[in-house]
Amino acid sequence: MKKDIHPKYFEEAKIICACGNIIITGSTKPETKVEVCSACHPFYTGKKRLVDTAGQLDRFKKRFDKSAQMKADIEKKAKEAKKKAKTPKVSSEKPKKTVKKTVVKKTAVKKTPKKK
- Residue 33: pLDDT band (50, 70, 90) is very high
Q: What is the mean pLDDT of residues 23-42?
A: 90
Dist CA 65 CA 70 (whole Å): 9
- Residue 42: pLDDT band (50, 70, 90) is confident
Percent of the chain predicted with pLDDT > 90? 25
Query: What would the pLDDT profile of 45-60 be if each residue is shown by its tens digit?
Result: 777 766 566 677 788 8
Q: What is the mean pLDDT of residues 98-111?
A: 70
Query: What would the pLDDT profile of 66-99 be if each residue is shown by its tens digit?
Result: 988 999 999 998 888 888 877 666 666 666 667 7
Backbone angles phi, psi at 16, to 5 degrees: -110, 125
43/25: higher pLDDT: 25
Q: Which fold has domain 1-51?
A: Rhinovirus 14, subunit 4 (4.10.80)
pLDDT at residue 27 in the model: 94
pLDDT at residue 25 in the model: 94
> What does pTM read for this prediction?
0.39
